[in-house]
Structure 1
Amino acid sequence: MLQKLTAVCKWSDLPKEIWLDILQYMTLVDLFRGVRLVCRRWNNLALCSFEDSKNKWLNLSCSDVLGGRLLSDESLFNLQFNFDLSNFEAITLRNQVSITDNGFRCTIAMSPYLAQLSLANCVAISDMALLTIGRLRCLTSLDISGCRNISNRGIKYMCLGKSPPLRNLDISGCVNITDIGLESISYKFGATLVKLLASQLSEVTDYGVDQLTRKTVLLQYLDISFCPKITDTSSIFLASSGITTLRLEGCQMSSNARKMIARHNSNSSSNSHHSDQLT
C-alpha cells in the first residue's frame, strides 16, 4: 500500500537554481518593480536572475522600469547603481524632459556596446550629450527628434574622431540644425547612413539636400517633409539619387518637380498622405 506524501516544501525552501529557472520568465519590469521589493532574499535572487539572463533585457525602456513616471538624473544614477548596463544594446529615454546631459552621460558611459538609442523629446538634452554619443563605437540607430536644444555644434561633436557607424538617424524637429549640420552628417556618415528623418527643419535649404545626395551613397529613405525652404531646385539632386522612399509634403516643391523625381527614379515611392506619391 502506497504511503501518502505529507511533506510540504515551502517557497522559501526552494534552492536557488529553481528560483532562477522561474525568474527567467519574468521581464525586467517585473524584477525591478515587483520581485526585488518583496524581501532581501528575493532582491538578491532578482539581481542574480538579471545577471544570468542579461541578454534577455538588452532593450531597456527606463520609463517602464521606473513605473512610468518622469525620470530625473538621480533616477538614472540609481538605475546604474542597481543594474549592470555594460552589455545593454538598446536604451529608450523618450519624452523624459527632466534628464540633463549629466545624467545621460553617466548612464551612457556604462553602456559601451550600445547599438540603439532614443532620446526623442528629451528637451533638456543639449549639444554636450552628442559629444558622449560620438564615443559609442557600436551605435547604428539614433533618435534625437524633438531635442530642440541640439544644434549644428552638437552634430559636429558627434562627428569628432572615429564616430559610430550610424545607419538610422532621426533629427526631426531639431529646429537649430541647419544645412551646416546636414553637411556634417553627410561627410561623416555618408558611407553608412541608410535612413534619415529630417522633417520640420525650418532652416534647411536646397544646399543641404545637395550635400546629402552627393555624400550618402547608401541612403534609401529620406524624410524632409515640412522643410519650407526646400524648393524645386532640390528635385535635380533627388532625381539622380538612389533614394527609394521620399517624403516631401510641406516643402515648397511644385507638382512638376515631384513628377520629374518620379520619372527619373522609377523605384522611388513616398509614404506621404498627400500628393507626394512617386511612381
Structure 2
Amino acid sequence: MKGFDLMNGVLPDELIVEIFRRLDAKPSRDACSLVCKRWLSLERLSRDTIHIGASASPDKLVELLGRLFPNIQYVFVDERISVTLPVQCGKRRRRSLTRGRWDEGSDQNAFGDDGMGASCLSNYGLEAVGGSFVKLEKLSLIWCSSLTDAGLKSFAEKCRSLKSLDLQGCYIGDEGLAAIGECCSSLQDLNLRFCEGLTDRGLVQLALGCGKTLKSIGVAACANITDISLEAVGSHCRSLESLSLDSEIINDKGLLAVAKRCSTLKVLKLQCLNITDEALQAVGIYCSSLVVLALYSFQKLTDRSLFAIGRGCKKLTNLTLSDCFLLSNMGLDSIAVGCSELMHIEINGCHNIGTDGFKSVGKFCARLSELALLYCQRIESGALSEIGKGCKFLQALHLVDCSGIGDDSICSIAMGCRNLKKLHIRRCYEVGNKGIVAIGENCKSLTDLTLRFCDRIGDEALISIGQGCFLHQLNVSGCHQIGDAGIIAIARGSPELNSLDISVLQNLGDNAMMELSEGCPLLKNIVISHCRQITDMGVGYLSRRCTLLESCHMVYCPRVTEAGVATMVAMCTRMKKILVEKWKVSPRTKRRAGSIISYLCVDL
C-alpha cells in the first residue's frame, strides 16, 4: 500500500540478513542494499567474502572495508587483477579509480593525503587484515609481492582462528610460515605454489604446529622444499586428505612417507619427474580412501603403478593421466576393472594407451559421467562404441586431435549416451555431419556444443542440433562449411543461447546476424573474428536487439568499419570488452568507451 512500509515494519533484522545471505549474485545484493539505510546496514552485516585487486592505497582500503563489513570470513587479494575502488565515506568522486591510478577530475584525497599511494598490499595492510576482520577464517594472497615474514608474523598473531591460507606467488620465508604454524593451530588448507623463498625448515615448523588439523597442502616450484618436508608432513599430518606436488626435487622417499602414514588421503595430484613405481605402489597399498588421482608428465611410471592403484583404491572416482608415455592399455584396463566407481577420466598425450584400454572402461565403468581424450592418436572408433554401450550416464565428452575417431564413434555415443549435456570436439577431422546429426536426434539434453576446426561439419549438422537441442553455448570456430543456414537454425531453436563463437566462418553473413538478434535475446558473449561477409549492418542488428551483450571479438572483419564499432559502443550499455583493430576506433568512440576496447594489433 502506498505510504506504508510493510516489510520493514514486520521483518526482523535477523530474517532480512538471512535473505541477503541466500542471494548468490552480487548485483542482486547491491540492488537490495539501495532500498534504504536499514537494508544497506543489514546487507553489510551479511557479507562474508571480500575480493580485492591491485589498487591504489590497498592498505587503507582494507581498513575501510573492515569498518563497513564486520562479519567477513574470507578475504581474497589478487594483485594480478585491477578493480574499481569505493571512495571513503563522506567523499564524492567524479570518475572511477582503476588500474591503480586516479583518473583526471577525481578526488585524489579520498584515501588520504598521499594521493595515489602504493598499489601493492604491504605488511601494514596485512596486519590490518588480521585486525579489521576479526571473524576471518580464509585468506588468499595471490602474487602479493611486497609482503615479508614480518607482515605474516603480525597477521598470524592477530588471526589465530585461521583455517585456510593461500600464499601463491608470495615471496615469504621460513620465519613467516613458522609463525603461522605456531599461532594458527586450526589451519586446515595451505597453498604454497610458487613460494620460492621457502625451505624445508619453514614447512617442517608449520607441520609441527598445525599437523593435527592440516587437511590440504599444495606445493609447486619451491626449489628448496625436499623429501624432508614430506617426511615431516607424513609424521605430523595424519589427517591429511589432499596433496598437490609439482617438483623436480622430491623423490620416492617423501611420497612414501605420506602414503604410509596418511591413510585418509583422498586427493593426490603429482607432477614430479623423479617419482617412480615404488611410491605409487605404496599409494595403492596404503591409501584405500583415494578418490582423485592426477599424474602429469611422469617419465618413469609404468603399468605397475596402475596395477597397484586398481587393486587398492576401490573408491577412485577421478583419474587424470597426462603425458605419461610408459603407461599402456594394460594399466588402464587394471584401473577400469578395479575402480568401477570411476566417474571422470582424462587421458592426455599418453601415446601407448589406445582402443583396448577404453573398451575396458566401457565394460566396467558404468557410472562414467565425463570423458576427455586429448591427443590420443591410437584410439579408434571401437573405443567409443564400447563407451556408448556401457556408459549410459555419460554427460560430457571432450575430444581433441583424435584422428582415429569418426562419425561411427559419435553415432555410438549419440545412441547410447542420451543424457549427454556437453560435447567438445576439436580438430577431429573424420567427424562430419552424420555423427552430429545423430547427436541432434538423440541427445535432447545437450546444452554445450563445441566443434572447432572440424572440416567435414556443415549446415546439415547444425540444422539437426537446432531442431533437437536447446543450446546455451556454441563454438563452431573454423568449420568453414557452416554458413547462414546452420546458424539460423540455431538462432531459431536455442532462445537461451548466451555464448557463441562463429569465428573464421567465411560464408557467414548478415542474415545470420539478423536471426541471432531476433532469436537469442540472452546472448552475452559473441566472437565473429575473421568473418569476411559480416558488415556494419549485421553488427547493428546484434547491437540493437541483444541488449545483454558483454563481450564481442570482431578483429579481421574487413566489412565492419568504424561506424559498426561506434554503433556497438553506443547501443550495448552492458558491454565490458570489445576486441577490434585500432584503426576502426574513432577518437569519439575512444573517448566514450576507451576502457572496454582492446586491440589485437596496434599498427594495422
TM-score range relative to shorter protein? 0.7 to 0.9
SS of the residue 2:455 aligns to? coil
Compute the TM-score of the two structures, normalised by the length of structure 1.
0.75
Aligned twin of 2:339: 22
Question: Structure 2: which amino acid aligns with 1:22?
Answer: C
SS of the residue 1:75 aligns to? helix
Q: Quick one: which of 394, 408, 417 aligns to 1:85? A: 417
The whole-number CA distance in structure 2 between the counterparts of 1:26 and 1:158 is 31
Aligned twin of 2:196: none
The whole-number CA distance in structure 1 between the counterparts of 2:601 and 2:394 is 39
Is it true that 1:178 corresponds to 2:509 in the alignment?
yes
Aligned twin of 1:234: 564
Residues 108-151 of structure 1: CA deviation (Å, up to 9, x unaligned)? 33321112110111121111111112134441100011111111
Question: Structure 1: which amino acid aligns with 2:339?
Answer: I
Residues 204-259 of structure 1: CA deviation (Å, up to 9, x unaligned)? 11111111111111001011110112222224312312222001128x62x5x1x3
**Most deviating of 150-159 and 216-225:** 150-159
The whole-number CA distance in structure 2 between the counterparts of 1:231 and 1:44 is 56
Aligned twin of 1:197: 527
Q: Quick one: which of 412, 435, 438 aligns to 1:106? A: 438
The whole-number CA distance in structure 2 between the counterparts of 1:43 and 1:228 is 48
Question: Structure 2: which amino acid aligns with 1:264?
Answer: R
Q: Quick one: which of 157, 160, 173 aligns to 2:489? A: 157
2:495·2:519 contact (CA, 8 Å) conserved in 1? no
The whole-number CA distance in structure 2 between the counterparts of 1:234 and 1:224 is 10
CA shift, 1:156, in A, is 2.2
The whole-number CA distance in structure 1 between the counterparts of 2:476 and 2:591 is 33
Q: Percent identity?
A: 22
The whole-number CA distance in structure 1 between the counterparts of 2:424 and 2:405 is 12
The whole-number CA distance in structure 2 between the counterparts of 1:175 and 1:43 is 39
In the superposition, relative to structure 1, how do residues 164 and 62 fare at CA in structure 2: closer, same or farther (>3 Å)? farther
Residues 9-50 of structure 1: CA deviation (Å, up to 9, x unaligned)? xx9x99x99999833346445799565546xxx86432x333
Aligned twin of 1:188: 519
Q: Quick one: which of 132, 150, 154 aligns to 2:464? A: 132
Aligned twin of 1:45: 364
Segments of structure 1 that go 5 or more residues without pairing to the other structure are 1-10
SS of the residue 1:92 aligns to? strand
1:134·1:164 contact (CA, 8 Å) conserved in 2? no
Residues 166-200 of structure 1: CA deviation (Å, up to 9, x unaligned)? 100000011000112211111111x1100000000
Aligned twin of 1:59: 396
The whole-number CA distance in structure 1 between the counterparts of 2:367 and 2:337 is 6
**Most deviating of 176-185 and 231-240:** 231-240
In the superposition, relative to structure 1, how do residues 55 and 80 fare at CA in structure 2: closer, same or farther (>3 Å)? closer
The whole-number CA distance in structure 2 between the counterparts of 1:20 and 1:70 is 25
In the superposition, relative to structure 1, how do residues 29 and 179 fare at CA in structure 2: closer, same or farther (>3 Å)? same
SS of the residue 1:112 aligns to? coil
Aligned twin of 1:143: 475
CA shift, 1:102, in A, is 1.5
Question: Structure 2: which amino acid aligns with 1:93?
Answer: I
Question: Structure 1: which amino acid aligns with 2:506?
Answer: V
Question: Structure 2: which amino acid aligns with 1:24?
Answer: E
1:55·1:88 contact (CA, 8 Å) conserved in 2? no
SS of the residue 1:119 aligns to? strand
The whole-number CA distance in structure 1 between the counterparts of 2:518 and 2:359 is 50
1:262·1:268 contact (CA, 8 Å) conserved in 2? no
Aligned twin of 1:274: 601
The whole-number CA distance in structure 2 between the counterparts of 1:261 and 1:208 is 19
The whole-number CA distance in structure 1 between the counterparts of 2:539 and 2:502 is 14
In the superposition, relative to structure 1, how do residues 27 and 246 fare at CA in structure 2: closer, same or farther (>3 Å)? same
The whole-number CA distance in structure 2 between the counterparts of 1:69 and 1:109 is 24
The whole-number CA distance in structure 2 between the counterparts of 1:261 and 1:267 is 11
In the superposition, relative to structure 1, how do residues 151 and 37 fare at CA in structure 2: closer, same or farther (>3 Å)? closer
In the superposition, relative to structure 1, how do residues 37 and 20 fare at CA in structure 2: closer, same or farther (>3 Å)? closer
1:93·1:120 contact (CA, 8 Å) conserved in 2? yes
In the superposition, relative to structure 1, how do residues 55 and 106 fare at CA in structure 2: closer, same or farther (>3 Å)? closer
Is it true that 1:261 corresponds to 2:589 in the alignment?
yes
The whole-number CA distance in structure 2 between the counterparts of 1:266 and 1:147 is 33
CA shift, 1:70, in A, is 3.8
The whole-number CA distance in structure 1 between the counterparts of 2:512 and 2:428 is 24
Aligned twin of 1:169: 500
In the superposition, relative to structure 1, how do residues 168 and 88 fare at CA in structure 2: closer, same or farther (>3 Å)? same
Aligned twin of 2:580: 248
Segments of structure 2 that go 5 or more residues without pairing to the other structure are 1-307, 317-335, 348-352, 372-390
Q: Quick one: which of 544, 556, 568 aligns to 1:214? A: 544
In the superposition, relative to structure 1, how do residues 227 and 26 fare at CA in structure 2: closer, same or farther (>3 Å)? same
In the superposition, relative to structure 1, how do residues 27 and 178 fare at CA in structure 2: closer, same or farther (>3 Å)? same
Aligned twin of 2:294: none
SS of the residue 2:596 aligns to? coil
